Amino acid sequence: MARTITIVGGGLAGLTLGIGLREQGIPVVLCEAGGYPRHRVCGEFINGRGYGTLARLGLLKLLERNGAREARTAAFFSRRKSLGIRTLPQPALCLSRFVLDKLWAEHFASLGGDLRTGWRWRAEGFGAGVVRANGRQAQTLGEEWHWFGLKGHAQNVALSADLEMHFFPNSYVGLCRIEEDKVNVCGLLRRSKAKPSTPENFVDRLRGPYGSILSHRLAKAQWDAASFCAVAGLSFRPLKAGTTGECRLGDALTMIAPFTGNGMSMAFESAEIAISPLAAYARQEIQWSDAQRAIAEECDVRFTRRLRWSSWFQNGLFRSPARIPLLPIAIRCGWIWRWLFFVTR
C-alpha cells in the first residue's frame, strides 16, 4: 500500500507534481487555499528548461490545444527609447494563468487526485510526506525597498515583438500576447518603505511614467478589470533548498527575478525533480529524509547559478548608474544577449 503524498499549494509547482505522481499511481491530496480559475500575478510565458519538462510529462500538447501562443522575439525599451529587438535563442509559450491553472487542476482531478480547494493547511510544520508549494517567501520588513507585482489583461494593444520589456528607474513592465488576442501586462515595482504600501491605481502604475513609450502603447487599451491582481512583500533572496528543513518547491523555495522570464519554468522543473524521489518514498523504497535530501540537492544544482546571476542583473538594473549605457549594449550585442539568456535559464 503506497503512502499518500500531501501537497500544500495548488499553483504550477504543486499541480505539476500532483499530476506527475498520479501518473505513477501514487495517492495524492492537494490542498489549495483558493479556487479555480483565478488570476495570479505572473508574466504568463514559459521559457527555458521548463519547456522540456512539459514535453516529458506529456503536458505540452494540452497547452497547445487550449490557445497557447508561441513567442520568438523580444523588444526592450527605456522610458522614451527603443533598445532593440532580439530573436529569442529558444521560443517561449504564452498562456494566461487563468486558463493554465484551471487546465492543470482539471487534469489532476481526472487522474484521480484528491483536490481540496478552499482548504488552508493548519497543521504545524511540513513533516514526512508533506510538500510545501504554497507560494513565495515573505520579504524582510527591515529592507530599504519593498517589492510588489501588478498584473492585468488588456485588448487593443499593438506590440512590436512577441514579448516586450519596458524599464524605468523603479520598475519594469512586461507585455506578452496570450490567448484570444489579449495582452498580459505585468509589472514589478519597488517603493521605499516610507511610502504607502498599496498602488493608487492599477492602470496608472502599469502604464508607466507619463509620456513613456509604454504609456503610448497602452493609451487605447481596453482593460479587463476582473484580471487585475497584486502581490506585495516579494523576496528575491536566493535560498538553498538544503537549508530549509522542509520539502519545498516552486516559489515556496525561492523566486527568480521576474525579468528573466524563468519563474514558471522553475516551478515545472522543481516539480519534475521531486516526482521520482517522492514516488520512491510513497512506495516505501526510501525514507523521507532520503527523498527530501535528493530533491534539495538536485534543486540546488539546477537553480543556484541562475538565481545568482539573475540577482546580480536585477541589482544592476535598479541600482547601477551604468545601466543606462550598458543595457542597450547588452541587448544589441548578439553574444552578450545569448550569454545573458542562458545563464538565467
What is the number of residues in the chain? 345
- Please say if the pLDDT value at position 326 is more than 70: no
pTM: 0.92
In CATH, what number does 5-40+97-136+239-343 get? 3.50.50.60
Q: Where are the alpha helices (DSSP H) in 76-212?
A: 97-110, 202-207
Of 259 and 116, the structure prediction assigns the larger pLDDT to: 116
DSSP state of 80: S
Q: Where are the alpha helices (DSSP H) in 42-129?
A: 50-56, 60-64, 97-110
Using DSSP, state whether 241 is helix, strand or coil.
helix
Instruction: Please compute the mean of the pLDDT values over residues 236-255 and round it to a whole number.
Output: 79
What residues have CB less than 8 Å from 184, skipping those under 6 apart? 42, 43, 44, 94, 96, 151, 153, 174, 175, 176, 177, 178
Instruction: Please compute the mean of the pLDDT values over residues 172-201 and round it to a whole number.
Output: 82
Question: Would you state the pLDDT for residue 19?
Answer: 97
Question: Would you state the pLDDT for residue 337?
Answer: 81
pLDDT tens-digit readout, 98-119: 999 999 999 999 999 999 999 8
pLDDT tens-digit readout, 33-78: 889 999 999 999 998 888 889 999 999 989 989 889 999 999 999 8
- 20, 131 Cβ separation under 8 angstroms: no
pLDDT band of residue 245 (cuts 50, 70, 90) is: confident
pLDDT tens-digit readout, 287-301: 999 999 999 999 999
- Please say if the pLDDT value at position 144 is more than 80: no
Question: Would you state the pLDDT for residue 175?
Answer: 97
**Nine-digit cell string for 80:** 522614451
What residues have CB less than 8 Å from 111, skipping those under 6 apart? 19, 22, 23
What is the number of other CB atoms lying within 10 angstroms of the CB of residue 209? 16
